[in-house]
Amino acid sequence: MRRRLLASLLLAASFAATAAPPPATQREIAGLFAALEHSGCRFARNGTWYDAHKAREHLQRKYDWLLRRDAIARSEDFIELAATKSSMSGRPYLVQCPGAAAVQSGPWFRAALARVRAAH
């Protein structure tokens, strides 16, 4: 009986360890993905420029990986851990929107997050 109880508790703890971010965070990150996808901007990763759709796909893979490790609790975690620099090289990502100079992606995503929050 005690073994079953212990096994049940361990199983419950393992599910709790992989909890999804709060619903508000999930909505904000979805808003960030939408902002990027519909921005018309280019996204540089390790010296190569990608369109917004390819950038979104790449960041989605990083986000999914971080979710499996329970590393995302806030939208700022997503920006810091997935959207600012290459996990492989450490080089910052860049965003270049039409008619504007390229900027580092961290400030771009933080500004986009402020717009997403203001809209809700």
Domain carrying residue 33: 21-119
Average pLDDT over residues 15-30: 84
For the chain, what is the domain count?
A: 1
Please state the pTM of the whole predicted model: 0.83
Show the tokens assigned to 6. Answer: 């212990």
Closest CA to 54 of 46, 63, 45: 45
Average pLDDT across the chain, whole number: 90
Residue with tokens 């909890």: 19
Q: How far apart are CA 82 and CA 59, in angstroms?
A: 6
pLDDT at 1: 56
What is the per-residue pLDDT across 56-112, written as a single tens digit (0 to 9) for each? 999 999 999 999 999 999 999 999 999 999 999 999 999 999 999 999 999 999 999
Q: Is residue 54 part of a domain?
A: yes
Q: Is residue 92 part of a domain?
A: yes
